[in-house]
Structure formats: structure tokens, C-alpha cells
């Protein structure tokens, strides 16, 4: 670490931004197998929040890997670094007074714990997007399971790389049991319960 790098105090605080926005800011961390529905539900929640006038942004796996993290692969080491960087970016969004929804498989409990540790305790909501592997494989929206089974992709989560399910997530959504709309509403209801968004919205 360069010792000449000094943190500069910001002129506008996180609290002031939240007050202006009229809502809390936090990370909604969606985790689950490929095809479980992280991107789908995160985007459905994002649209609902947007329509309520709530500042939010979705950070999505593939999009981030096209830019910020395009130097990273899918080895255990690179997956960890991928999540660490995303965690730091998510923290900046929280600081900017917004909800940030992240849609990454994030298979390792330790990596998710690291991100949780980057922010305050009321700023990290872990959402386990639960769906049986067989169902994810049946959906296979990107044809990735097929490729993993054929050996065209290595280190694919659920096939030849492990997924460590969260032990105590704030929320579990069962995408094989409920519709996209119901799953998104479950997240919104949770945010209302915690008073992260105003009741009259």
C-alpha cells in the first residue's frame, strides 16, 4: 500500500445523501447457482424500486466481467478477487446513498463474509436465490450447463466447482416455487419491514 495515499474526507456525508433521498442505502447481495434467477429477480426489484422513486443500481456478473474485472478468470483465486472488487464498488454505492443490487454467483461463503465486513451491519442484505441444480440445469438460459457437461467450460459452479449455500442469509427466495413477480415482492416487503423504504411509498 502506498503510504502517500491519504483518505480525503467527503464534503457530503452518506447520512446527508440518505436524508435527501428519503431512504436507506445498502447492498442487496443476491447469491445462487447460475440460472437460479439472480439477474432476473435483481432487475425486477430494481424496476420496482425505481418506480417508487428509490435510487438504485444493479451490478451484474457478466457486465462487470466485461469491464472492471475483465482481467479475471474463474479460478478460486480470481473468483475471490472478483467478489472483493465488487464489494468495494458496492460500498461506494452505499456511500452514495443508493441501494445497490449485486447479481453474482459468489459461491464461497468466505468471500461473501468479506463483503459483509466491508460495510455496516445494516448495510448488507444477503439474499439466497434458491433453486435446485436440476431446475437451473433445465432452465440453462445461457446454455452454460450444457457446455460444462460437455467439458467445454471448467470450474463451473454446481458441476465441477462447489457452491456454498448461505447458512444465515437475511432472505431466501425460492425461484422454483414462486413467480418472478412474487420473488421481487418478497424483497420489497423485506425492505419495508426493516423500514429501509418509507411505508407510505
Ligand X SMILES: Nc1ncnc2c1ncn2[C@@H]1O[C@H](COP(=O)(O)OP(=O)(O)OP(=O)(O)O)[C@@H](O)[C@H]1O
3-state secondary structure of 89: helix
Question: How many other C-beta atoms lie within 10 A of the C-beta of residue 20?
Answer: 11
Let me know if 139 is exposed, middle or buried by CB neighbors in 10 A (0-12, 13-18, 19+): middle
183 binds, among ligand X, Mg ion, none (CB under 5 to 8 A by kind): ligand X
Q: What angle in degrees, to the nearest 10, is found between the helix axes of 180-193 and 38-51?
A: 60
Return the C-alpha cell found at 4: 502517500
Among 26, 27, 28, 41, binds ligand X (CB under 6 A): 41
Q: What angle in degrees, to the nearest 10, is found between the helix axes of 76-95 and 109-116?
A: 20
Rg from Cα positions in the chain: 17
According to the binding rule CB under 6 A, does residue 139 interact with ligand X?
yes
- The active-site residue, picked from 25, 46, 106, 161, is 106
Whose CB is nearest to Mg ion?
A: 39
Q: Using DSSP, how many helices (H) and how many strands (E) does the chain show?
A: 8, 5
Rounded Cα gap, residues 50 and 59, in angstroms: 15
Among 52, 68, 180, 201, binds ligand X (CB under 6 A): 180
Q: Please, which residue, 109 or 201, has the CB nearer to ligand X?
A: 109
**Mode of pairing for the β-strands spanning 27-31 and 56-60:** unpaired
Active site residue 46: no
Among 31, 39, 46, 157, binds Mg ion (CB under 5 A): 39
188 binds, among ligand X, Mg ion, none (CB under 5 to 8 A by kind): none
According to the binding rule CB under 6 A, does residue 37 interact with ligand X?
yes
Enumerate residues 101-130 that contact Mg ion by CB under 5 A: 103
Among 26, 27, 29, 38, binds ligand X (CB under 6 A): 38
According to the binding rule CB under 6 A, does residue 61 interact with ligand X?
yes
What residues line the site for Mg ion (CB under 5 A)?
A: 39, 103
What residues line the site for ligand X (CB under 6 A)?
A: 32, 34-41, 61, 103, 105, 139, 141-142, 175, 178-180, 183
Question: Which positions are annotated as active-site residues?
Answer: 106
Amino acid at each position: 500500500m502506498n503510504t502517500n495515499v491519504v483518505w480525503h474526507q467527503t464534503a457530503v456525508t452518506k447520512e446527508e445523501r440518505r436524508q435527501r433521498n428519503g431512504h436507506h442505502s445498502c447492498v442487496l447481495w443476491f447469491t445462487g447457482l447460475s440460472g437460479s434467477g439472480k439477474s432476473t429477480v435483481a432487475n425486477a426489484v430494481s424496476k420496482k424500486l425505481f418506480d417508487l422513486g428509490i435510487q438504485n443500481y444493479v451490478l451484474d456478473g457478466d457486465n462487470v466481467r466485461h469491464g472492471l474485472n475483465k482481467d479475471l478468470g474463474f479460478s478460486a483465486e480470481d473468483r475471490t478477487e472478483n467478489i472483493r472488487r465488487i464489494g468495494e464498488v458496492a460500498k461506494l454505492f452505499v456511500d452514495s446513498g443508493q441501494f445497490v443490487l449485486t447479481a453474482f454467483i459468489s459461491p464461497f461463503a468466505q468471500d461473501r463474509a468479506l463483503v459483509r465486513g466491508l460495510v455496516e451491519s445494516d448495510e448488507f442484505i444477503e439474499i439466497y436465490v434458491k433453486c435446485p441444480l436440476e431446475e437451473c440445469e433445465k432452465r440453462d438460459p445461457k446454455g452454460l450447463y450444457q457446455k460444462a457437461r460437455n467439458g467445454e467450460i471448467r470450474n463451473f459452479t454446481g458441476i465441477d466447482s462447489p457452491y456454498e449455500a448461505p447458512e444465515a442469509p437475511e432472505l431466501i427466495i425460492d425461484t422454483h416455487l414462486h413467480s418472478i413477480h412474487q420473488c421481487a415482492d418478497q424483497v420489497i416487503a423485506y425492505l419495508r419491514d426493516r423500514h429501509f423504504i418509507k411505508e407510505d411509498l
